[in-house]
């Protein structure tokens, strides 16, 4: 009876380790990360992961040439870069609004009371119609040039020790990083 219970526990451990080994880790060497630590000398670190150890994350900081070791127990926030993107849509929207407002102001300011064809409202509307597309185009170009990085937060409860199957098929202890 004891032998069958021991065998059942071992089979459950092997099955669980296979599942852990198949789960992709969100932090791997070569990825850009942003780490916030509770340690005073590294409050926030942005760089490339060089190694992931059971209790430590080795990050080459953008500002330093020497890698920094961050203990996983001190990690307050961990984010993974998901690439850079531009802001052309936001730029176009802001440029459209600024262009339209400028057109309204220019239309009202440039309106002549002797103008019998257009009233002040029509002049303001015409100014907005003419300047809004110019503002949208200019804003889109500016937004295209402004690029920022997208960050995805890794849940801190997903960081911890775990059991995994190594490349040679043997079970081993390691760090578990999963989303």
Tell me which architecture the domain covering 2-85+147-177 has in CATH. Roll (2.30)
Bridging pattern class, strands 75-86 and 147-154: antiparallel
Nearest of 49, 70, 52, 71 to residue 60 by alpha carbon:
49
Higher per-residue confidence, 162 vs 74: 74
Q: How confident is the model at residue 91 (pLDDT cuts 50, 70, 90)?
A: very high
Instruction: Among 10-24, 38-52, 153-167, name the one with the lowest average pLDDT.
Output: 10-24
Domain ranges, ordered by start, for the chain: 2-85+147-177, 88-144
DSSP code for 30: T
pTM value > 0.95: no
Q: Quick check: 99 pLDDT over 90?
A: yes
Q: Quick check: 19 pLDDT over 50?
A: no
Strand partners, 46: 34
Residue 134 structure tokens: 């110019």
164 dihedral zone (left: phi>0; alpha: psi -120 to 50; beta): beta
Q: C-alpha dihedral over 169, 172, 176, 179, to 10 degrees?
A: 20
pLDDT at residue 179, rounded to an integer? 40
Query: How does pLDDT run across 124-135, given as a tens digit for each residue?
Result: 888 899 999 999
């Amino acid at each position: 009876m004891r032998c069958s219970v021991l065998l059942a526990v071992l089979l459950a451990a092997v099955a669980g380790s296979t599942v852990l080994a198949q789960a992709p880790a969100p932090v791997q060497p070569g990825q850009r990360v942003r780490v916030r630590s509770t340690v005073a000398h590294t409050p926030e670190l942005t760089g490339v992961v060089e190694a992931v150890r059971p209790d430590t994350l080795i990050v080459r900081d953008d500002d330093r040439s020497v890698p920094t070791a961050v203990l996983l127990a001190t990690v307050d926030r961990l984010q993974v870069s998901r690439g850079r993107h531009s802001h052309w849509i936001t730029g176009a929207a802001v440029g459209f609004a600024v262009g339209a407002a400028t057109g309204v102001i220019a239309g009202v300011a440039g309106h002549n009371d002797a103008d019998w064809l257009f009233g002040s409202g029509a002049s303001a509307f015409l100014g907005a119609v003419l300047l809004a597309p110019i503002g949208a185009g200019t804003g889109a170009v500016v937004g295209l040039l402004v690029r920022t990085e997208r960050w995805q937060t890794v849940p801190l409860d997903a960081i911890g020790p775990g059991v995994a199957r190594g490349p040679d098929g043997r079970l081993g202890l390691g760090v578990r990083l999963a989303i």
